[in-house]
Amino acid sequence: LLTAPRPGCKVGESSAAVAARQPGPTMARSVDCSFVNTMETRFRDTKRRMMTALEMVNIRDRADVRAEIEVLKRERLAYEQESIQICEALARSEAYNRTLEA
């Protein structure tokens, strides 16, 4: 292998060296990143839609829970009123039994 030109040989610059030094896009700069940007945008949009859907589910769930609580409150009031009526009926029945026993 020869590492240096022989004496008397004229050495010039190769066209590859000239092209390498020319200003302009290199391989790294000429890569089209629009696909990556598009995918980032899609991921961001998907994440935003997922978060919105999750918020809607939470809102709906909270509304469902509130509605269930209201139903349970009404049922509790109805059961309390029924319990009061049963206690009053029991007291009347016991009073009637006492009058019959007397």
> Does residue 2 belong to any structural domain of this protein?
no
> Does residue 44 belong to any structural domain of this protein?
yes
pLDDT for 28: 53
> Does residue 76 belong to any structural domain of this protein?
yes
C-alpha span between 47 and 43 (Å, rounded): 6
pLDDT digits (tens, 9 = 90+) for 37-58: 787 888 888 888 888 888 888 8
Q: Which residue has the higher pLDDT, 3 or 28?
A: 3
Q: Which residues contact 5 (CB under 8 A, 6 or more apart)?
A: 11
pTM over 0.85: no
> Does residue 14 belong to any structural domain of this protein?
no
> Does residue 13 belong to any structural domain of this protein?
no
> Does residue 78 belong to any structural domain of this protein?
yes
**Domain around 42:** 34-101
**Binning pLDDT at 50, 70 and 90, where does residue 59 land?**
confident
> Does residue 4 belong to any structural domain of this protein?
no
> Does residue 9 belong to any structural domain of this protein?
no
**Binning pLDDT at 50, 70 and 90, where does residue 26 land?**
low
φ/ψ (deg, to 5) at 11: -105, 125
Structural domains in the chain (count): 1
pLDDT for 24: 56
